[in-house]
Amino acid sequence: MKPQLLLVGLGNPGASYERTRHNAGFLAIDRLSKECGEGEWKPAQKFSAEIQEGRIITIPILLVKPQTYMNLSGDAVTKLIRFYKIDPATQLVVFSDDIDLPLGTIRFRTKGGPGTHNGMKSIVDALGEGFPRLRIGIGPQPKDRDLAAWVLSKMSAEESKTLRGAIDQIPELVRTFVLGEA
């Protein structure tokens, strides 16, 4: 199946990164997988990613979790774009955490810069700024915390609950995008 839409969640692979703020993109893709995924997740070494086919309404999609670690996400996305001959401006949505948005806030943009996000910077360096993205607010780092330590730290139970509430909205937001209502 050739996907008409790539949905890419940014995060870091491995158990030590599960439930960290920086893996909000993976959490979003996992939520979409429950609603839209078909079959099992498959390792796809040629893309440096885990992939799962699915459908939104009748549109074939590919759910993607790059396994390159955050700062090299552009490598995996570029391989997928080239292989499937995807137009990033209309057939790609990237999901990432964002420290500039309050915890649990979701913001959709059709293009833009990477901000302080190194995974997004890797993709922008590879593709340019002209692709849709859904930013998931994880809140700002405390003044006494290093940025890397903050985004790689695990969330409290209350923070996780707030983030999950936001992530539960994502399937409907993606359907709206697919239908051209965004």
Q: What is the 3-state secondary structure (H, E, C) of 24-85?
A: HHHHHHHHHHHHHECCCCEEEHHHCEEEEEEEECCEEEEEEEECCCHHHHHHHHHHHHHHHC
What tokens were used for 133?
């993205």
Domain annotation for the chain: domains and CATH numbers: 5-178 (3.40.50.1470)
**pLDDT for the residue 180:** 80
Active-site residue numbers? Answer: 22
pLDDT in tens, the chain (182 residues): 899 999 999 999 999 999 999 999 999 999 999 999 999 999 999 999 999 999 998 999 999 999 999 999 999 999 999 999 999 999 999 999 999 999 999 999 999 988 889 999 999 999 999 999 999 999 999 999 898 998 999 999 999 999 999 999 999 999 998 888 65
> Are 176 and 136 spatial neighbours (Cβ–Cβ below 8 Å)?
no
